[in-house]
């Protein structure tokens, strides 16, 4: 509905203050999540090598991404290459960090480094009581037991709130990224 009505044009009324607050909140949340993950590694029973490698990879990822971002204003290579390397700096950094992690864990005997868990196949993640995955098309009246009609109407204000939140998240992020 937001796409059909071209509601993205409403973003012209968002002030710079709102944009900066949103940017600060997202930054704080992301930094807090990264620090929490590093702290949890130290609080777990992982080996010293895993803990050290995690801190090195985290620091390297941050510093390399910042350097790629700052590359745009330097005089290294020509303007087109600088722009492309700077635009894809975070992706290049993640790939580089993953490569380094995979190359280092074997020779140093680090076996308990956590990698992103990816499922073997594409299927719904919710399992029914009999252990089978839920169907792709969900019956709004319930799958295993009937869902009350009043419950559908109760979800409407929450759905509107989440729609507004998603709208602001998507469009403010786009405005920030395109600057």
Q: Model's pTM, two decimal places?
A: 0.65
Which pLDDT does position 119 carry in this prediction?
A: 80
pLDDT(107) > 90: no
- CA end-to-end distance (rounded Å), the chain: 27
In angstroms, the CA 116 to CA 114 distance is 7
User: Which of 62, 61, 47 minimizes the C-alpha distance to 114?
Assistant: 47
* Model confidence pLDDT, tens digit, residues 120-169: 888 888 888 898 888 899 888 888 889 898 998 999 999 999 988 888 88
- Computed over every residue of the chain, the mean pLDDT equals 85
Count of CB atoms within 10 A of residue 154's CB? 10
Residue 5: strand, helix, or coil: coil
| Residue corresponding to tokens 């992982």 | 46
Q: Which of 51, 64, 58 is nearest to 108 (CA)?
A: 51
Residue carrying structure tokens 């722009």: 83
| Res 158: pLDDT | 95
Q: How confident is the model at residue 77 (pLDDT cuts 50, 70, 90)?
A: confident
| Structure-model confidence comparison of residues 90 and 157, the more confident one | 157
């Amino acid at each position: 509905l937001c796409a059909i009505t071209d509601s993205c044009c409403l973003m012209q009324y968002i002030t710079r203050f709102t944009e900066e607050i949103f940017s600060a909140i997202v930054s704080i949340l992301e930094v807090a999540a990264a620090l929490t993950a590093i702290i949890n590694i130290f609080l777990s029973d992982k080996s010293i090598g895993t803990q050290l490698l995690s801190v090195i990879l985290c620091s390297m990822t941050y510093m390399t991404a910042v350097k790629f971002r700052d590359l745009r204003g330097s005089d290294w290579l020509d303007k087109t290459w600088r722009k492309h390397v700077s635009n894809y700096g975070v992706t290049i950094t993640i790939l580089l960090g993953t490569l380094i992690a995979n190359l280092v864990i074997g020779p140093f005997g680090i076996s308990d480094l956590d990698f992103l868990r990816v499922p073997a196949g594409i299927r719904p993640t919710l399992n029914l009581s009999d252990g089978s995955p839920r169907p792709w098309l969900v019956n709004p009246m319930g799958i295993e037991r009937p869902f009350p009609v009043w419950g559908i109407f109760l979800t409407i204000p929450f759905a509107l709130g989440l729609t507004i939140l998603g709208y602001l998240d998507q469009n403010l992020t786009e405005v920030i990224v395109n600057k």
